[in-house]
Structure 1
Amino acid sequence: MEDNNKACDETVSTTTEMEVVEAAAPTEAEEGDEEEEGEEGCEFEFEIGTDPVDLVQEAPDGVELYQRFERLENEAIEERERKRKAVQHQRQFPDQEGPSKKPRQDEFLGATMEEIDELMNFGFRRRRSRGSCGKKGRRKGSRKKLNPIVSTKIAQATVHYASKEYNEAIPLLHDVVRLAPNIADGYHLLGLVHDSLHDRKKAFNFHMIAAFFSRKDASLWKKLVAWSIKMGDVALVKHCLSKAMIADPDDVGLKFDAAMLYFNAGEFLKAAELYEQILRLSPENVQACITAAKMYRKCGRTEKGIQILEDYVNAGKQKSDLSVIELLINLYMSNNAHNKALRQIDKWHAALDSEKLPFHLEAKATICCAHLGDMSHAEVFLHHLPLEATKETIDVVAEVADSFFEMGNYDYALKFYFKLEFLTDNPDGDLYKKIGQCYMSLKERSKAVPFFYKALNKMEENVEIRLTLASILFEEGKEDETIILLSPSDSSEKNSQPKSWWLNSQVKMQLAKVYHSKGMLESFVNTIYSSVRDTLITESINQKLRPVKKLSKHVLIERAKLLAEQEPDSVFHGFRPLASSAELLKASRAKKLLEKRAALKEQKRAVAIASGLEWHTDDSDEEPQRREKQEPPLPGFLQKQENHQLLVDLCKALASLQRYWEALEIINKALKVAHDDIFSSQRKEELRSLGAEIAYGTTDPKHGFDYVKYIVQQHPYSNAAWNCYYKVVSKLEDRYSKHNKFVRYMRNLRNDCIPPIIISGHQFNSISQHQAATADYLEAYKLQPDNPLINLCVGTSLINLALGFRLKNKHHCIIQGFAFLYKYLRLCENSQEALYNIARAYHHVGLVTLAASYYEKVLAMHEKDEPVPRLPYEKPPSDQQDPKSNYCDLRREAAYNLHLIYKKSGAVDLARQILKDYCTV
């Protein structure tokens, strides 16, 4: 319809009255002489009972009119395809009975189902000619004329519109779209009327429906594109552009707009394909050619971009535009096709009148030759460099230098970097950094130091340069200089906020390693302790966090916004935005879940009000507090194996500084987050052993009990492990339940293990339950009768038992006790310690004469003193501070006890002489 197209070609703001009259009243010639439409008609039609006006005004279901159009269109296409296959099947197998067979004329009172359906839907569906069932579109002159009533109303409405009587035109046009809902003319005229009334939303909606029923009316779709751009709805612009391009596939401007839309959305492949279509329509368009190649490179299809540029160059257009050649050379080089790039440069050089290549192309030729193994061009290009410092010269030299650096040709890279330093008035830190990296790659680390210092002066906050320089200085033995480099300055310490480079975890770890290598344990701990502790705490909290299955209301609303970007009174409110299918699925689910929660909340409110209760809104279930994982101060600290040794060194340093509680805290938290994929079993064993060794040094040994328990579980027959265990347990309260349960468990688990039996006997002795202690010692004696310690324990326990009040045969028990003690003396080969214990036993039961004789034997012997056994990380005190430094020689203890005996017997002078000889400092 030519006149109709004229009306649609009008601009957004102006439409003449005469064009409207011509658009609304198609002529008879147009109806009879129109060519076949093919796919011009709409793929679907409104069903009976559908009121298009209500669809526009009420926008039911949120409105999903656009989605309904799409769904009906797809269903119509599927139905048409199904019928086509059925007809094809009937033609191939005419005698076969099946679902595709047509019913006989006499089955339904002489009429087919198609005819009955056409009669029932008269005015709503177009009737297809029987002879056209195998042909798409319609035949020439087959367009059905409008109902006379509809034509009359359109004519009247057109007259009212021309007379600017818009309120009289609207009811007539409402009747038109109700009587002929599948004709575009009524919707189009309604859109023009509402546009004249400055109701842009309704005008847009009616124009959109009209466009759906006249798919190939390109001017109408272009008009909708312009309106949607003004509305600012990207998704709507995309949809209208796609329909406009289908209606007018030769419009280059539409394709440019769509390509830019896809580019802004990050869909580079679709943008590249559109630019390629533009290039096919307009082969002379250089911008489309260049942009298409760039888009293909962005989406990783460099070969396709190269092909487009090659086709353009081979067509003979390279003489007028050098930018295409340069881009093609760049793509060749990025695709490692340096020989092709060099041939293209030579080809361009041959086409030039001048003998000398442009400066930037000469640089690219030098790079290509270097990649191909020819370095002679590099020397020539270096000597031909201009002395004037222009932006082009600096950029080209930097490109060549970076290319040699990436190739690993550091000698030539240095030459060009030094040339670049000469050309630049104020070189930046990145240039000095690259020079330093070149020297490092050439194994000339000392030469790199001054350049890294220059780079650091320009880029003080650059952590990479600072760490690289620190590692060089540390390897050269300049530890003090390394500490100064990695330590914050005095000014940053005075400020409340230190410089950002000091907050970097790698800087602190590097500085801590330097302190540890120099033995500065206190500085080492102060540097890294708080960061390691906070990291372990954060990792422990993050491991406990589990994903919340119930999404919060805020998250659901944000997701549902994808389906509700348009304003509520728009027919196309809920227009699907530019998003992936997964995002749209999440948005749909979020919308349904919000509606379900709102209905449930309303139901609860109604129940509460009906029960006479006061309703209080509880949003706790709707807004679950979802805690996100926090970033630790030392990211990735536990995942690196070299950091595990730093963790152990930190614990050892804390133990050496007698900060036992802090050391145990680090070990506790490290083992809590130590999974098998993080810590090896050997490393965890080392941490537990360290925790067991330093556990007794804390004021509350309960925190180290688990470690010593683990050690003896791993080494149940090791006396050293049980000694460490008992050293910790001895500082606990007598009735510590965990200890007692563990000892009983080990005794039941391993009947032949002696240490837990002896420890149990010691515990009974400490609470004066000598009979139970004796039973435990005798049980151990059965396992090892020749153990001196067990004999000593049995003997002393029997003597203590004999001194009680309940035992009747005390003398017999004392004799048994001394029998074990003398066996102990014999096993110890009459050592000073054994003689002293015998003397002390006689002194304890009142046999002072025998006690004095054994004390005198002790005084006659001399034992060499040894230092008190200590754990590996205990700090040994000086002899003046340690009262037990001479604990091996027992003569002072024996002299003191002997002087008590002499003093009690009245020999005061003899007692004084003993003290003077053995106990005087």
Structure 2
Amino acid sequence: MNSPSNPNEDTIGEVTSDLEIIDLQPDVNIPEICDLNDVGDPQSFLTDLIGDDSLYSRYLSGQISFDELMREMHRKETHATPYSGRHEMEEEDDDAQSETEGRIRNKAERSDPDYRPRTRHRKKSLVHPTERHGGTMSRTYDPPSKRKGGRKRELPIELAQYLGEAERCLNSDQFNEAEQICKTIIEADPDCPAPYIVLAEVYYRQGDQEKARELLFSAAERNPSDTNLWLSLIEFAEEKNDLALATYYTRLAMRGAKSDVSIRQRLIQYCEKAGRSREALKLRLNALSITPEANGDEEFKKARAIADEFFKLMDPASSIRAYEAAFEKYPDSGTDSDRNTVLSMMLKLNKHEDALKFLIRFCGVSIRAVNRRCLRLDRMASELKKPNKFKECSYPDTLPPELCLKLFLVMVRLGLAAVVTPRVQKCFSDKIAEKFSDWLLDIAKSYRAMELYSDAVTLFLRLTKFKRTMRLTQVWMSLGELYVELGEIDKAIKAYRWVVDSIDPRCADARVALGGLLRRIGKHQEALDLLNPSSLVQMQSPPYKKEGQSTSTPLTESASVKPPKDAFSLEYASPSDSDDDDEAAEAKANAEWLQSSAAIADATLLSHDPVAYRLAYERCKLLDRPDSIDSFLDETWDLLFTDVARLCGPHWAELSMFLDNTRLRSRLMGRLGSSASHRSITDIPNLADGLPLRERQVSSVDVWSLFLRLVELLMSRLPHSLTHLETATIWASLLPQVYHDEGRRKAVSNLLISSCLIGRQGTPALIKLKELQKQWGDKNQYWNVLNLAITLSRDSKHSRFLDRLFTRETGSLPVGILANNDCLVRGSYRYAIARLVGVREAHPNNPLIALLLAICFIGVSLHKFIVSRHPAVLQGLGFLNEYRRARGHCQEVYYNIGRACHQLMLGHVAMYYYQKVLDMEPVGETEEEKSYTDLRKEAAYNLILLYRSQGNLSMARYLMQKYLVI
């Protein structure tokens, strides 16, 4: 396009041709603007307006710079007296000013010779074209919606015009200039969101989406009520499949637009995708109160569905809140079934005050005091501290019976029993008991819980006469307990005996309570007979026998299992145990045990009958008296170890097989662990054949306490009870109640090791010590005890363990010494030397290794079939010399050298070193320490043997009189 001769006149012509007349409404507060008579000629007004556009035209044509444009605009605004109130009007009406500026800017852009309409050059934009400058933003081209929430921060007129220049640069793909302008505006006014939006658009068009997202988030933080900004950020997160980030942006968007249904629904969907169902339900519940519908029934139906979902998620408190919110908003839409459900959940959670509030608000219940004043809900907690002032309770006649019963239950629990007791007694009828026996029983229990024993007895006596409740064990048990509270022992005994004889002979609680009362009145033997497991009448099919069969079980018919005196001798005399490498013999023994144990049914085990197990436990407690200790030991032994002994089979003395074999031990404890005696009552809702488990279980703590009491009595009878103590500790390590607790398992393991070492039975102690190697392998005490167990064991089961241990820890000193000693005992001197050489490389200056090497070479030299003994003897003497150099001069060194020469039949050399031992003082600071290291008696005895072998009896007699006679 060619420029005209007079560019200003042509520009004015274009502006006047495109000028839009804006109809401004008069404003009395701005007479300078609204009084058109003072303006004079209308053409002058138009001329002033055209003058501003001329500045824009000169700027756009390149005649003036942007800084000169800003200075001219500022000068005209400050010197224009007739329009001095314009800035005030612009501050009061931001939207109109923004619209006017947009129109002028559009006209100025159209006057640009390089201007290209947006409809012809549409680019993928981060910001909606019609909303970019206004501060809203969308990644789609939806029609702009009215901005909700509070007003955002607007830029001053100069910065707004400067931002328009940034938008012009953006549309002209001058991204660097637009970015620089936006950053300048942000430095001048960092709290306005508009430059952040334009700058985000710049980065978005350049492909830097992460930077655009950060700037867009900064703009949203400065204008949190703009939902379009948040929606753009949410779409960013969705494109990245970042559910957590999308949820975070949606939460922030919902804070600025809490009544926006679409945003709340989007957040609900995100929570459901993330698996936070409870949070999604809470949002749905809040949406009901924010966006109510005209139809209350439909809303209540939605609230009911939400409450059901909360209940399925095991969140009854939220379910109650959902119902309460629905009742508060639509009280007429709720049904009696809904009220009943809410009250049931409140009572289950023991929220009695909340239940009473609910009854008063939504069920028509009224509670009045003596002065006719009603109970105030806002002061309920303080007023219920004085329950005696309330004398009247009224409720509608149409209130269903179940709600009435729950009302009575709540009032009794809150101490208002005196108000409703007459009505409660009227409700205890056979007709109501037929439908609501559980609630009647709960009301009676509530009287007992509030220590209203007389009223509680009256109610329970009525329950014993109703057809529905007359044979309920709970009714008679509670009645007996109430009689005990009132001191009527004879009536309590009759109630408990009625349960045992007529209702449920297998009721352990009734038998235990009756046994305690009989013992209180002095009938000890009758109490013991009542608690005998053989006195149970089996009521159902196995594992419960039918009525009329024998009352004794196979367990009680069998004799008590006691360990024989030769129990462990049987174990170590077994040829299969002496051969550790005979896997076929071991597999055969395992198969025999599996066959014998499989023949024992679980139903015949005491631990699988919880009632019999508890009775046996209570019987043991009853026998724990000074005059019946022997009976207590027998009964406790049978209770704890009979099942273990039976499952171990006829050769139960071979207990090391179960301790050492992990598979057999796991199988054995699996049989014992499937019992009901050590599990929680919640783990076994039903026994075999659908028999409900109502009895209190014997806990693992009770079993552990009983075992400790047994050990205490056995230790008090040592040494005669040593065999029993060893067997008890071994069997206790196989009990699930002990094995599954780390502290108890360690205690039993230590007790087993101690008792077996005292009884000189090394194999069971060795098996347990092997399990402790990883924990205590760095302690010298452990290796000393392990060496003692190996020495006392009568088989070779430890050899394979030492071989594996030495393979893993070649440089370990205690492992090497034990492995060397094991090879020496088995006669493998060459293997012993090889192992000691490896240990010597890790510990070159250890004198004990040199001594052991000397012993090994001397042992090799004494073999019967050897080519030449001289090299072995020389090497042995060489290591003895190294041992003396490393150890120093002391009795120990000279005694060991003399003993080695004595073995090599070098008597004259041995006599020399023995004499040196006799002439030296032992090592130690005190006499007690010296007595531990004194070797003069041993040296004198060996020297006496040498003198006798040479015929020097007088010298031998002299040494004996000097060193050996006490």
TM-score scaled to structure 2, two decimals? 0.38
The higher-RCO structure (CA 8 Å, 6+ apart) is 1
